Structure 1
Amino acid sequence: MAYNEFLADRITQFFREKSIPFEARKMMGGLCFMVDGKMCVGVNKDQVMARIDPEVYEISLLKPGCIEMNFTGRPMKGFVFLTDEATDLDDDLYDWLQLALDFNPKAKASKKKKKK
């Protein structure tokens, strides 16, 4: 199992309950939830990845279970990983998902790759 399917189901349920159109894509060994064509949240192993406003990034890192996302050897500002401590309770998980959704309209979409 590359990602926690139960966690992915909880995220799917949140988006459906809020009537948020989304697309779930397998990406980087996990599952990424795209909203308006932009990466919003994802599940990698047993952690949630959230794309949040860089202006609240530093203060978010002070919250229990929130750690910097570091794929490349340096932190990616605006992207955080959330451990069980931050996502165990539905209310806590939903607060983080809402934070990512709130930033989504301001987030820039990645550039489309040209087909050869």
Structure 2
Amino acid sequence: MAYDEELADRLREILSQERGLTEQRMFGGLAFLIGGNMAVAASGQGGLLLRVDPADTEALVDEPLVGRFVMRGRAMDGWLRVDTAAVPNEPELRRWATLGVTYARSLPAKRS
């Protein structure tokens, strides 16, 4: 499945003023990076792939339509899948994108 281009455009609009923002295809989707660190992506499996503080994972996965990202059979703390239905409007999408951007900004920038 290709990533949702409409969702990617919505993310692009919300994140357009972020300094250090770049886009990169990864995980079968389109990721938005801050300082080289992934913040949020329009996932190739649908919805969002989101990077957050691992300490916040448990509280966030209690929300409807949110789960841990599973890689190679392992559920990952600090990585979330957010179903498209959880971001039906700009305020909800902005809320999730802001969580990802905030965490990405807390990490050391990667060298190019």
Which range, TM-score by smaller chain?
Answer: 0.7 to 0.9
Name segments (4+ residues, structure 1) moved above 2 Å: 105-112
Matched residue count: 110
CA contact (8 A) 1:64 1:85 kept: no
CA contact (8 A) 2:34 2:105 kept: no
% of aligned pairs identical? Answer: 27
Aligned mates of 1:87, 1:8 — CA distance in 2: 12
Q: What is the TM-score normalised by the length of structure 2? A: 0.88
Q: Which runs of 5+ in 2 are unaligned?
A: none
SS at match of 1:26: strand
CA contact (8 A) 2:67 2:82 kept: yes
CA RMSD of superposed structures (Å): 1.8
Q: Describe how 1:1-116 pairs up with structure 2 within 5 A.
A: 2-16=2-16, 19-21=17-19, 22-45=21-44, 46-107=46-107
Q: Between Structure 1 and Structure 2, which shows a larger proportion of strand residues?
A: 2
Give the letter aligned to residue 102 of structure 1: T
Aligned mates of 2:74, 2:109 — CA distance in 1: 21
Q: What is the TM-score normalised by the length of structure 1? A: 0.85
- When Rg is computed on C-alpha atoms for both structures, the one with the higher figure is 1
CA contact (8 A) 1:23 1:34 kept: yes
Between 71-80 and 39-48, report the one with greater CA deviation: 39-48
Higher relative contact order, chain-length normalized (CA < 8 Å, sep 6+):
2
